[in-house]
Amino acid sequence: MPTVEPQMLKGVLALLLLRLVAEQEDYGYSLVQRLRAAGLPDAAEGSVYPALARLEARGLLVPRMVREGRGPGRRYYSPSVAGLEEATRLEQSWEAVGAAVRATARRTDVPVGADEGAGRAPVPTRGG
C-alpha cells in the first residue's frame, strides 16, 4: 500500500474525522484505528487528538464524556450541524483538488505516481 504524504493527510484529516463521527459517535483512539483500517497506516494519535481539539474549539464537534469502570472517562465525539455542513464543504473542496490533479495528469500525459526519468526530460526550473 502506498504511503500518504503527511501534508496531504493533514489537509484532509478534518474531513475524515467529521465523516467518521457522522457515521458513528466515537473517541480518539478508536478514530485512529478506523483511519488506519481505511488505508491510512500512518494516522497517529499525535495528529488526530489535536485535530479533534481544533474541530471541537470551532464548534464542529460535540463531545460527550463516558465513564467506563474506574478509569478515566473517554471523550466521545459527534458532529454538530455546523460540523456536518463543514464536512460537505471540505468534501467538495477535496473533490475539486482531485479533479485538478487528474486533469493536470491527463494534460501532461504523465500518470500520477510515475517515476521521474522514465523517458521524459526533466522540467526546467527558473534560472536554470
Mean of the per-residue pLDDT values of the chain: 86
**pLDDT band, residue 6 (cuts 50/70/90):** confident
| 74-79: strand order across its sheet | 26-27, 74-79, 61-66
Report how far apart, in Å, the C-alpha atoms of 39 and of each of 4, 5, 74, 81 are: 9, 13, 25, 27
Task: Render pLDDT for 37-94 as a digit per residue (tens, 0 to 9).
Answer: 999 998 999 999 999 999 999 999 999 999 988 888 899 999 999 999 999 999 999 9
pTM for the predicted model, two decimal places = 0.78
Rounded (5°) CA angle 54-59-61: 75
pLDDT at residue number 114: 57
